[in-house]
């Protein structure tokens, strides 16, 4: 659970403010960053959370049920803020807990984190509205409901994506903008580390799935490699139960902080076939797709971009009709089905 702390403008109010265990409370928030994801819970059962999302005015309203094991007296309801503290409200629990329930923490919900690609969202907030990632997350949620899976939640990662305009400035190849791309990926890795650590603090056995597109796939590759280098792949699997990427950029080693899977493995399959993964499939279930003629994830075409950016510039002018932007045509359905098959093991 988050530690009590003074909120920096973020506040919550509740209605009603008292009642027996099992009461449904309306939690209203004000002063939150635009489109911010807000975990909300109680001290009686920290792992049983709901997640709200602030609107453009920084407000949200969501229902929360007081746990059946809540003891009589004052109960803190908290909403997590960005500094690691919380905005709090207090609910008066009337009478004993129902049915003699215990205070055992329930199983943590599975979290699936989406990581957007280049230019998919305003740089000032770093929040990407990726069609491909969002479609995958929606399909994962739908499958979880259809197949009566354990609790699952999805969230999009915030990180300051590379501005596609950087690829249209001047002439030449990728060497100049590559520095900015690599810097954005480094920030994305740090944000992903923090996001996972945050959810593990709230519920210590949380498991994760990762979904990335384009630059977001690069972020995931770097995160996995960095994490495995510190703790080993077995420990990574204790956190991450499945990975799905689309259009994973393929850059030769000498030009990149983090080359994509194709250059690590030596080749790539197309037509929605699996990429050869550098990760042990017995430890970390991983699936990557590269559409034929996708110049970003084709190793030969990716190498050519080092010297000539014009094919990539042409794609970015209309990415929805470019092969790099067409993974919703069957790819996301297969990606969601794959994740559903591995996340709950």
Neighbours of 319 (CB within 10 A): 18
Q: Over pLDDT 70: what percentage of the chain?
A: 72
Residues 22-35 have a mean pLDDT of 87
Q: Is residue 2 part of a domain?
A: no
Indicate which CATH number applies to the domain containing 56: 2.60.40.230
Map residue 253 onto helix, strand or coil: helix
Helix/strand/coil for 182: helix
pLDDT digit string, tens, across residues 132-179: 998 999 999 999 989 988 888 888 887 877 666 666 665 666 666 777
The predicted model gives 104-118 an average pLDDT of 78
CA terminus-to-terminus distance, the chain: 26
**E-strand spans in the chain?**
11-15, 18-19, 24-30, 37-42, 50-53, 60-65, 73-80, 86-93, 110-115, 152-156, 208-213, 240-246, 286-289
Same domain, 221 and 288: yes
Exposure on the CB side of residue 174, measured as CA atoms within 13 A: 22
308-331 pLDDT, tens digit per residue, is: 777 777 877 777 778 888 888 788
| Section 121-137 average pLDDT | 67
Q: What pLDDT score was predicted for residue 115?
A: 92
* Segment 88-95 mean pLDDT: 86
CATH number of the domain residue 199 falls in:
3.40.50.1820
Q: Assess if residue 38 is contained within a domain.
A: yes
Same domain for 160 and 211, yes or no, is yes
> Is residue 105 in a domain?
no
Greatest mean pLDDT among 18-27, 94-103, 112-121: 18-27
Peptide bond into 274 cis (omega under 30): no
What per-residue confidence (pLDDT) applies to 12?
92
Domain that holds residue 313: 110-342
């Amino acid at each position: 659970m988050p530690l009590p702390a003074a909120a920096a403008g973020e506040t919550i109010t509740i209605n009603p403010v008292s009642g027996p265990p099992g009461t449904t409370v309306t939690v209203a928030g004000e002063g939150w960053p635009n489109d911010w994801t807000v975990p909300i819970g109680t001290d009686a059962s920290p792992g049983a959370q709901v997640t709200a999302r602030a609107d453009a005015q920084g407000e949200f309203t969501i229902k929360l049920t007081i746990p059946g094991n809540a003891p009589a007296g004052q109960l803190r309801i908290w909403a997590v803020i960005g500094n690691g503290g919380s905005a709090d409200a207090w609910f008066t629990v009337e009478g004993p807990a129902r049915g003699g329930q215990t205070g055992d923490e329930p199983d943590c919900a599975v979290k699936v984190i989406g990581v957007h690609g280049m230019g998919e969202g305003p740089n000032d907030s770093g929040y990407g509205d990726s069609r491909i990632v969002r479609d995958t997350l929606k399909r994962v949620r739908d499958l979880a409901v259809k197949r009566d899976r354990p609790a699952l939640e999805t969230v999009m990662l915030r990180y300051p994506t590379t501005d596609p305009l950087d690829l249209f400035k001047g002439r030449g190849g990728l060497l100049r903008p590559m520095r900015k791309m690599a810097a954005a990926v480094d920030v994305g890795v740090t944000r992903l580390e923090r996001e996972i650590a945050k959810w593990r603090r709230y519920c210590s056995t949380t498991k994760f799935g990762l979904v990335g597109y384009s630059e977001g796939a690069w972020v995931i590759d770097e995160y996995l490699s960095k994490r495995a280098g510190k703790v080993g792949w077995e420990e990574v699997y204790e956190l991450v139960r499945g990975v799905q990427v689309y259009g994973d950029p393929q850059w030769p080693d000498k030009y990149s902080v983090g080359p994509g899977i194709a250059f690590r493995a030596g080749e790539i399959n197309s037509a929605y076939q699996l990429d050869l993964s550098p990760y042990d499939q017995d430890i970390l279930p991983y699936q990557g797709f590269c559409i034929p003629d996708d110049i970003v994830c084709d190793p030969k075409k990716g190498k050519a971009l080092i010297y000539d950016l014009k094919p990539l510039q042409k794609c970015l002018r209309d990415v929805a009709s470019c092969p790099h932007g067409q993974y919703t045509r069957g790819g996301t359905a297969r990606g969601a089905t794959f994740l559903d098959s591995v996340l709950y093991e």
